[in-house]
Amino acid sequence: MGVKKGEIIEATIDSTAFKGKGVARYEGIALFVGATAPGDRIRARIVKKKKSLLEGKLIEILEPSPLRIEPLCSHADACGGCTWQHLDYKTQIIHKEQHVRDHLLRIAGLKDDITLPIIGCDMPFYYRNKMEYSFSSRRWLSQQEIESDSFVDDSGFAAGLHAPGRFDKILNLTECHLQHPVSFRILDHVRSYCVRNNIAPFDSVQKTGFMRHLVIRNAHHTDDLMINLVTFSENREYIEGLRDSLLAHFPEITTIVQNINDLPNPTATGRYERILHGPGIITDKIGNHSFRIDANAFFQTNTLQAEKLYDVARDFANLKPDDHLFDLYCGVGTLTLFMADRVRKVTGIELVDVAVKNALQNAHDNNVSNSEFVLGDMKDTFNDEFISRYGRPDCIVTDPPRSGMHPDVIENLIRLRVPRLVYVSCNPSTMARDLKELNGAYSVDKVQPVDMFPQTYHIEAVAQLTAREGSV
């Protein structure tokens, strides 16, 4: 292959890859370029060269694809929050469905006909019930600023989202269309307040400053609105002044909490938490059940699509009144309780202690008496000893993190061979990897893609598995 790193080439994008990049062929090798659409004729600079693939950085669109549209947001080309705003929504879900099909075929070796048509989202914008914004003393420069011959100062108070692939610089947002419009107004207010009052953003290199993250949660089925201020220190003078200002300008806020993360890690989870206003939790509904949500607990980010996702999972489980159901990676018990009224007993397992506490409280609040929740790391907890203690399940639902299931969990599922297994995934590639391993003991009957995250390449999928005949 004659092309060299740094060389500028021309190519035509003909498809999309799972992480949202466009794919072209150049000298017989796959070329991946971000911010492109199938049909785009482009110029790109080669930034990575491997034996089997090339990666390029878009320089210019020579001829735009007929699929390309004008993004709603001015940050769409630079922001890591949305990768596909330049594609209309119908095109987005066509490609997402194809990604699921490709992974099941290429990685798992499964037939194409098991994948059902994708379930799209009725709200392609303003659908998120949680946004995690970050603060930095260094902002991400625009392409125009980068290419400028003059010095451009990138210092200041940046508030927004991480630039793609960068954790030290923040894209300073002037708009965002993923959460309810009040979300951006709150972000803008916090930024302005901090600048006026000389409250410094956290510097990840120097380990100085105060403001680290702003996490906003809004409930879809109630009026609850949570503000979670993640800071490097407690500093009550700073935080209480900001709290009072927020409540004065946004009376719809129902609770404010402060998470103090004084450790080097970049997460928005504090070492400890203070409730500054209200109950410290919000409440939302999925189906017929209400859920208490703490600042650091997991809850499905798209409430309305979560209901569709859970409907699919419950349908695939083919539950019976006398069933004992296991829910692996159960979080705050949303899916557990969603299925509880269809079975005799349900047992959830979860690693995060605050999520287990939420799950127990959610069961109590919803008068669900046939559920139990166990705290533990799945790879260590889900084993023969656990089965002996809690009983053998008739059906298992597993909803693992993006990395998929640990090999020990897969091995135990294969050995256990429950009659029915439902796999809920936020990453079709790791799901396909796990399904390949499970396919010897279970038949993968069908897979349903569900779009939870419009404007991004992310896609959820639900797989229905049954133990192969004679193996139970």
Pairing of strands 225-231, 155-162: unpaired
Residue 426 a catalytic site member: yes
Evaluate whether 246 touches 256 at the Cβ level (below 8 Å). yes
Half-sphere CA count of 224, side-chain side, radius 13 A: 25
Contacts of 219 (CB under 8 A, 6+ apart): 129, 225, 282, 283, 284, 293, 303
Among candidate residues 176, 194, 330, 426, the one labeled active-site is 426
How many angstroms separate the first and last alpha carbons of the chain? Answer: 52
Distance CA 231, CA 246 (A): 16
Say how far apart CA 215 and CA 210 lie, in whole Å: 15
Own/partner contacts of 385-390, CB < 8 Å, gap of 24 or more, are 386/349, 387/416, 390/347
Helix ranges restricted to H, 55-181: 89-106, 143-146
DSSP strands (E only) in 102-204: 130-138, 155-162, 170-172
Neighbours of 384 (CB within 10 A): 10
Work out the angle at residue 16's Cα, subtended by the Cα atoms of residues 14 and 19, and round it to the nearest 5 degrees: 155
Catalytic residues: 426
